[in-house]
Amino acid sequence: MLQDLSRLEKAVALAQIQPSPANLEALHFALDVAFLRHADKVAAYRGGIIAGSDVFATDLEKALNQLDMTLQARPVTRATLAPHVARIEEVRQRLKVLSDAVFQRSMEQASAQRSELRSLQSSTSAMIFLLGAFGLGLVALLLRQQSIIRALECRDRELQDSERAERELRERQERIADNVPGVIFQLRLEADGKLVFPYTSKGLAKFFGVTPEAAAEDGSRVLDALIAEDRGRVRRALQRSAESLQPWTSECRVQRPDGRIVWLSSFATPQRKPDGAVLWHGHCHDITRYKAAEEEIRNLAFFDPLTGLPNRRLLTDRLSHALATHGRNRQHGALLFIDLDNFKTLNDTQGHQYGDQLLCQVAARLSACVREADTVARLGGDEFVVMLEELGTDVASALPRAETAGEKILAALNGAYLLNGQEVHSTPSIGITLFDARDSRVDELLKRADLAMYEAKEAGRNTLRFFDPVMQATVEASSALESDLRRSLREGGFALHYQPQLDRDGNPTGAEALVRWLHPEKGMISPADFIPLAERTGLIVPLGNWVLEAACRQLAAWQQDAHTASLSLAVNVSVRQFRHPDFVEEVEGVIRRTGANPARLKLELTESLLLDDVEEIISKMTRLRQLGVCFSLDDFGTGYSSLAYLKRLPIDQLKIDRSFVRDVLTDPNDAVIARTIIALGHSLGLNVLAEGVETEAQHRFLLEHGCHHFQGFLFGRPRPVWREAGVVVV
């Protein structure tokens, strides 16, 4: 605007100097420009912030309008233009002042704006910084939160994993617990005495008919399922375990929901809880099968399988118990030893089946004769023992009671028996002994009753006898002899004597080995006195083995000498020794050790061996026969051997018992028996040896009737050495 006014001032001044049309034209133009510019700027002047700009705008407008009017009012002369020159110049001067003020103001404003800008910039920077810092913080916060979230997520996953693992473990445990046979449980005894089962596996319902939930509410329901007899015992065991904090174990019976009674074995360990309760962790399982096996073993161990009666072991046990009790109550008891007369004959002639039936019926009759508290036992074979208890506090009252019981048994066993539809008669012999607490040895008492039973047999059978002091002396002597026998077996004291055996031409064929006991005080004791004792006590087995070994050693020694090399040696073998399970191995071992020729060894068996288990005997004899050993049947004719068996036995020789030989010339019966045995031997292809030949007459008789071999005092007594034709071989 200032330039436009300057141009207008110049144009006015020129036109005034020379109001030519060109100058006027230029003046018009400059005035128009000034108008235009003023129109542009007038708003700014009016609203200007510089003092006087409003007035200036009015004055400028006025000056311009007046110039315009002057130019419009023609003619335009120097004079009409003259006032305008000064006016325009004055306006221009004012505008210049104003412009300077505006400039100044602008400068100030610019400076103010700059500083404002600067402060704005700095505040913006601060804000940016703050924002940055805040942002960073925010980022850090976000990152932190992010890592917390990640950690939390991780922890959550871990928790989920451990929860899942725990759930799986619990499920697995429950599956195991539910499939384990029996019941796994937690049992709690509260301080107030209440029982609960906080946990039970599923087996509980199967055994006790109680659900785990019901047991968790009230544990006594579980105990109520036990059979009444066992309940108190189990509760007491629990109580003891709670007091001592020792494991609780018990075996008890429970009636299952299906009605079956089963045996359970329980084991649980207790723990005292802070609230005073006791908590057990435990399990129980079905032991019915073991119990049944245990029962069976007990039965086998203590009961006779045939009759179901107690056996010797249980009788011994009860007798010891009775002796102890009688000591306290001063009571007397009685032992009755019962043996069936002629049982062996029946068994042998009719067969074992009959024998077994008879034994079972005898057992039933005996049991019916006594009180519940008394004991009826079977010792084996046809031997029974009845033990009567509490017969009275003195012998005078006990004796008649025992006798009455004995007579009752005698009468009961005398009645006819029906065996396989056949009526059979059997009688017993009964030996009775009284006992009280002073009798401390069970085996002694049994011996006494046994001895009395033999007395009854001697007295004609089918009767009863009491043990008396004379018998007592025999028992004591027998006991003493038994301990001497044991000692001699340990320390040595036996010898073998040899009695020659000859053929029908008088040539020695061998000898029989006969044992002799050289007792340290009593001198030489006859085998007839100690062999039965050795048999009874079982000492016959070690004694028999000693004899066998000594005899085989002798045989081996004979083999070394031409005079004796062909001799055989007969060795007596007792029933008990032969029945020993290792007998065959024993013989085999002895033959091997001594180098004896088994073909020269002749084992003498007695007929009584054939009373039981003939098949087993035959099998053993056959095995020995395969080793080369020969057999002779001793005492032939005195027993009950069946001819049917005889044919099956691998024997070589029959021996006619010396009791027949003794009276062969005087007793026609014995003569017939001797002749029959010789004939039987011939028909079976066996050689026959007559033992106990003392006279020429006996020898002749036997020779005439075809006997092949002989043994007896006539040809030589048993000697510690073999004497023949002046040769002595030890």
Applying CB under 6 A, which residues contact ligand C2E?
A: 499, 514-515, 526-528, 531, 544, 547, 572, 574, 634, 658, 691-694, 712-713, 718
Render the burial of 598-613: b for 16+ CB within 10 Å, e for the rest.
bebbbbbbbbbbbbbe
State which residue, 498 or 558, has the beta carbon closest to ligand C2E. 498
CB of 570 to ligand C2E, least distance (A): 8
Render the burial of 389-421: b for 16+ CB within 10 Å, e for the rest.
bbbbeeeeebbebbeebbeebbeebeeebebee
Closest residue by Cα to residue 445 from 526, 296, 338, 335: 335
Nearest-angstrom CA–CA distance, 502 and 489? 32
Nearest-angstrom CA–CA distance, 466 and 430? 9
State which residue, 204 or 690, has the beta carbon closest to ligand C2E. 690
Render the burial of 476-502: b for 16+ CB within 10 Å, e for the rest.
eebeebbebbeebbeeebbebbbbbbb
CB of 462 to ligand C2E, least distance (A): 29
State which residue, 434 or 531, has the beta carbon closest to ligand C2E. 531
Cα separations in angstroms, 180 against 176, 249, 283, 452, 596: 6, 19, 10, 61, 64
State which residue, 48 or 500, has the beta carbon closest to ligand C2E. 500
CB of 424 to ligand C2E, least distance (A): 33
CB of 690 to ligand C2E, least distance (A): 10
Q: Residues near 645 by Cβ (< 8 Å), separated by ≥ 6?
A: 610, 614, 618
Q: Which residue's structure tokens are 């009964």?
A: 430
CB of 534 to ligand C2E, least distance (A): 8
Nearest-angstrom CA–CA distance, 712 and 656? 12
State which residue, 16 or 698, has the beta carbon closest to ligand C2E. 698
CB of 531 to ligand C2E, least distance (A): 5
CB of 525 to ligand C2E, least distance (A): 10
Q: Could you tell me if 211 and 293 are in contact, meaning their C-beta atoms sit under 8 angstroms apart? A: no
CB of 718 to ligand C2E, least distance (A): 5
* Tokens coding 240: 């003891």
Per DSSP, helices labelled H in 468-511 are 469-491
CB of 661 to ligand C2E, least distance (A): 8
State which residue, 212 or 692, has the beta carbon closest to ligand C2E. 692
Pairing of strands 332-341, 427-435: antiparallel
Burial class (CB in 10 A: 0-12, 13-18, 19+), 621: buried
CB of 650 to ligand C2E, least distance (A): 20
State which residue, 531 or 601, has the beta carbon closest to ligand C2E. 531
State which residue, 429 or 572, has the beta carbon closest to ligand C2E. 572
577, amino acid identity? Q
State which residue, 8 or 496, has the beta carbon closest to ligand C2E. 496
CB of 654 to ligand C2E, least distance (A): 13
- DSSP E strand boundaries for 291-426: 332-341, 375-380, 383-392, 417-419, 422-424
State which residue, 546 or 640, has the beta carbon closest to ligand C2E. 546
Closest residue by Cα to residue 495 from 523, 521, 535: 523
CA-derived radius of gyration, the chain: 69
CB of 669 to ligand C2E, least distance (A): 19
State which residue, 73 or 528, has the beta carbon closest to ligand C2E. 528
- DSSP E strand boundaries for 66-225: 183-189, 195-200
Burial class (CB in 10 A: 0-12, 13-18, 19+), 506: exposed
Q: Which residue's structure tokens are 């002639």?
A: 349
State which residue, 384 or 722, has the beta carbon closest to ligand C2E. 722
Cα separations in angstroms, 724 against 175, 198, 539, 568, 691: 90, 96, 34, 14, 19
CB of 521 to ligand C2E, least distance (A): 20
Q: Could you tell me if 279 and 291 are in contact, meaning their C-beta atoms sit under 8 angstroms apart? A: no
State which residue, 528 or 562, has the beta carbon closest to ligand C2E. 528
Per DSSP, helices labelled H in 209-276 are 212-217, 220-224, 228-244
State which residue, 304 or 604, has the beta carbon closest to ligand C2E. 604
Q: Is the peptide bond before 75 cis (omega within 30 degrees of 0)?
A: yes
CB of 415 to ligand C2E, least distance (A): 38
